[in-house]
Structure 1
Amino acid sequence: MAGDTRDRMIDATVEALRRRGVAGMSFTEVLRDSGAARGAIYHHFPGGKGQLVAEAASRNGRDVRANLAALPADDPLALVESFLALIRPVVECSATGSGCAVAAVTIASGEPAENASLREVAATAFASWTDALAARLRVSGLAPDAATDLATTLLALLEGAQVLCRAEGSVAPFDRMTRTALDLTRTRYAAR
């Protein structure tokens, strides 16, 4: 059961990071949403908020990486279409005020050492996403450099779309980006 409490606290932290970022999330919110007792905070996370946030962002990063690694790789266009379908619900949530838990830790405010540690967590997660997506693109037939370039572009699309959709309160920026990403893939990478 102790693992369940810890897992629920991490899950609640991921959601809090998506909604309010590091500065806006609170232990009170995490405890309420996880159903954990107040004493659970320092029992499970003796490093306090910094440890809890780092572990939540790391877990979220691993979960996203697993989803990317499972994308079908029949051909580059099919893979990009699958990627866009996978991320659409995430971006739709952004239009109503949510965001990326991993990106949230890159803009954390606090002590410089803690910020550097959190940025390292984010950098590791983003690199793993790029690697997983590039690996699938290589399986679909792209050369290694082209696969890494397209993977980086798609992830930048994901993160940028979340920001633009949140600002506009609409999924329209994502729809425009989707059309361009598909056109780019068709003209540059399809039928290789």
Structure 2
Amino acid sequence: MAGDTRQRMIEATVTALQHRGVAGMSFTDVLASSGAARGAIYHHFPGGKAQLVAEAAERNGNDVRARLAALPADSPSGVVEAFLELVRPVVAAAVAGGGCAVAAVTVGAGSEVDDEAFRQVASTAFASWVDQLAERLAAAGLASAAADDLAGTLITLLEGAQVLCRAAGDLTSFDQVVRTANSLVVHRYPG
């Protein structure tokens, strides 16, 4: 049961990060969403908010990496199409006021937390996404350097599209990314 409480608190923190960022999330929100008692905070996270946020961002990063690992690797264009289909709901959630829990720890964390530690968590997560996506692209036949470049570009496009789509309140920027990415792959990496 204690493990369940801890996991529910981490999941509630991921959601809070996606909607309010580090500075906007509170223990009260996490406790209400997870159903945990107030005493559970420092029992499960003796490092307080910083530990809880770091673990939530790390967990979210691992979850995304696992989804990327499951992408089909039949062709480079197939990987890109599957990636863009996978992330469309994430970008749509950004339009509705959500966002990337990993990106949330890189901005506006506030003075009560260690920004450098959060930056490292985010850097590690993003690098793992690029590495995993590059692995799928390489498995689909791209040379390693090309796979690395394309994977880095796709992750950058995803994060940027979330910000632009949230600001605009629609998916127009993401639809542009989809058209451009698909065209780039078809022309640069046919097959």
Aligned partner of 1:144 in structure 2 is 144
How much does 1:108 deviate?
A: 3.4
How much does 1:110 deviate?
A: 3.1
Q: CA separation in 2, counterparts of 1:112 and 1:149? A: 36
Over the matched positions of the two proteins, sequence identity in percent amounts to: 66
How much does 1:172 deviate?
A: 1.2
Task: Report the secondary structure of 1:106's partner residue.
Answer: coil
Map 1:172-191 to 2 at 5 A: 172-191=172-191
Q: CA separation in 2, counterparts of 1:125 and 1:111? A: 23
Shift in CA distance, 119/181, structure 1 to aligned 2, threshold 3 Å: same
Aligned partner of 1:93 in structure 2 is 93
- CA-to-aligned-CA distance 1:131-188 (integer Å, 9 cap, x gap): 0000000000000000000000100111001000100010111011100000000000
Structure 1 length as normaliser, TM-score?
0.97
Q: CA separation in 2, counterparts of 1:14 and 1:20? A: 10
- CA-to-aligned-CA distance 1:65-88 (integer Å, 9 cap, x gap): 000011000000011000000000
Q: Could you tell me whether the CA contact under 8 Å between 2:9 and 2:36 is conserved in 1?
A: yes
Aligned partner of 1:63 in structure 2 is 63
Gaps of 5+ in 1: none
Map 1:38-117 to 2 at 5 A: 38-111=38-111, 114-117=114-117
Aligned partner of 1:167 in structure 2 is 167
- CA-to-aligned-CA distance 1:101-128 (integer Å, 9 cap, x gap): 0000011333497100000000000010
Q: Could you tell me whether the CA contact under 8 Å between 2:12 and 2:34 is conserved in 1?
A: yes
Structure 2 length as normaliser, TM-score?
0.98
> Letter of the aligned partner of 1:167 in structure 2?
A
Q: Could you tell me whether the CA contact under 8 Å between 2:50 and 2:113 is conserved in 1?
A: no
Alignment RMSD: 1.1
> Letter of the aligned partner of 2:46 in structure 1?
P
Q: Could you tell me whether the CA contact under 8 Å between 2:49 and 2:113 is conserved in 1?
A: no
Q: CA separation in 1, counterparts of 2:40 and 2:144? A: 46
> Letter of the aligned partner of 2:27 in structure 1?
F
Q: CA separation in 2, counterparts of 1:4 and 1:112? A: 27
> Letter of the aligned partner of 1:31 in structure 2?
L
> Letter of the aligned partner of 2:137 in structure 1?
L
Q: CA separation in 1, counterparts of 2:44 and 2:189? A: 47
> Letter of the aligned partner of 1:103 in structure 2?
A
Gaps of 5+ in 2: none
Verify: 1:20 aligned to 2:20, yes or no.
Answer: yes
Q: CA separation in 2, counterparts of 1:175 and 1:131? A: 24
Q: CA separation in 2, counterparts of 1:98 and 1:138? A: 31
Query: Where does structure 1 differ by over 2 angstroms across 4 or more consecutive aligned residues?
Result: 108-113
Verify: 1:131 aligned to 2:120, yes or no.
Answer: no
Q: CA separation in 2, counterparts of 1:3 and 1:170? A: 39
